[in-house]
């Protein structure tokens, strides 16, 4: 957390969270065929702290997301309010160009990258941030998370889950249903994993429910460090 922007205090900011009692649940369009190439050769990394195989989503309608604006004080407004709007807008074209160039440069270094192609409908302006709705772990599992914005929940598609399983990953925790109870946890946007010290770090925000964060940490055998932070205006960071 940037100390120049946020101050960290035990009781500096108050976040109202819904009380939840639950039993953990587990295992509960149009696109180009080449978007999800199978089979994929998984590179076994000898260094557990470095990734050599990346999954990325090429966004179809990247742009301003009105549904996330209230909890994202860094999101600019007034640039192209109609986005997500017309497919192929100037914003979309720029995003595609930057995405493709990034993929090309990383592949040139020997990094293995699998690209999933987003679909124009329904509009998913934040589809490129797939780390928010799932995370992968050294135990060979992936975890699914509850997203606060309704249009972000549509990013979790059966074809993506099938591909994760085809890569040899098993579905572990599925917390996505907690979105219906207004309890949210947005993947590695909400959680920072310190794998070396087996810690999960999170900060209180409308998008980060403490009980869910604690459950993920317990599932992975990690301890949870939960902090509160806010800027001088009282805004809390929605991600770490």
Percentages (nearest 5) of helix, strand, coil residues in the chain: 25, 20, 55
The token pair at 179 is 């979105």
What pLDDT is attached to residue 14?
57
How far apart CA 62 and CA 133 sit, in angstroms, is: 17
Cα(90)–Cα(126) distance, rounded to whole angstroms?
16
For residue 49, the model assigns a pLDDT of 72
The helix/strand count (H/E) of the chain reads as: 5, 10
User: Closest by alpha carbon to 14, among 237, 239, 236?
Assistant: 236
pLDDT for 189: 93
Q: For 89-98, how does the pLDDT look when each residue is reduced to its tens digit (9 = 90+)? A: 888 889 999 9
pLDDT for position 22: 53
pLDDT of residue 66: 84
Q: Convert the pLDDT of each residue in 141-159 to its tens digit.
A: 999 999 999 999 999 999 9
Q: pLDDT of 218-230, one tens digit each? A: 999 999 999 988 8
- Looking at residue 161, its pLDDT comes to 97
Q: Are 191 and 185 in contact (CB under 8 A)?
A: yes
pLDDT for residue 77 = 60
Q: Output the pLDDT for position 193.
A: 95
Query: pLDDT value at position 36?
Result: 44
Q: Using a pLDDT cut of 90, give the percent of the chain over it.
A: 55
In order along its 240 residues, the chain shows pLDDT tens digits of 333 343 444 344 556 666 666 555 444 333 333 344 444 444 455 676 777 789 999 999 988 888 887 787 666 665 554 445 566 788 888 999 999 999 999 999 888 999 999 999 999 999 999 999 999 998 899 999 999 999 999 999 999 999 999 999 999 999 999 999 999 999 999 999 999 899 999 999 999 999 999 999 999 999 999 998 887 878 777 766
């Amino acid at each position: 957390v940037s100390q120049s922007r946020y101050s960290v205090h035990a009781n500096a900011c108050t976040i109202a969270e819904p009380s939840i009692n639950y039993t953990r649940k587990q295992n509960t369009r149009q696109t180009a065929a080449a978007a999800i190439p199978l089979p994929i050769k998984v590179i076994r990394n000898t260094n557990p702290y470095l990734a050599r195989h990346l999954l990325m989503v090429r966004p179809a309608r990247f742009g301003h997301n009105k549904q996330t604006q209230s909890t994202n004080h860094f999101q600019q407004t007034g640039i192209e309010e109609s986005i997500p709007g017309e497919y192929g807008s100037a914003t979309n074209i720029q995003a595609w160009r930057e995405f493709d160039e990034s993929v090309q440069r990383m592949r040139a270094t020997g990094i293995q990258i699998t690209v999933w192609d987003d679909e124009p409908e329904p509009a998913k302006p934040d589809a490129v941030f797939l780390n928010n709705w799932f995370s992968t772990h050294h135990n060979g599992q992936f975890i699914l998370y509850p997203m606060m914005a309704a249009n972000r929940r549509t990013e979790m598609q059966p074809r993506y889950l099938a591909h994760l399983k085809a890569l040899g990953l098993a579905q572990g925790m599925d917390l996505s249903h907690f979105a219906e109870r207004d309890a949210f946890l947005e993947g590695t946007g909400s959680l920072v994993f310190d794998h070396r010290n087996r810690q999960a770090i999170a900060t209180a925000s409308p998008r980060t429910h403490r009980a869910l964060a604690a459950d993920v940490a317990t599932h992975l055998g990690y301890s949870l460090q939960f902090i509160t932070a806010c800027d001088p205006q009282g805004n809390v960071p929605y991600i770490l």
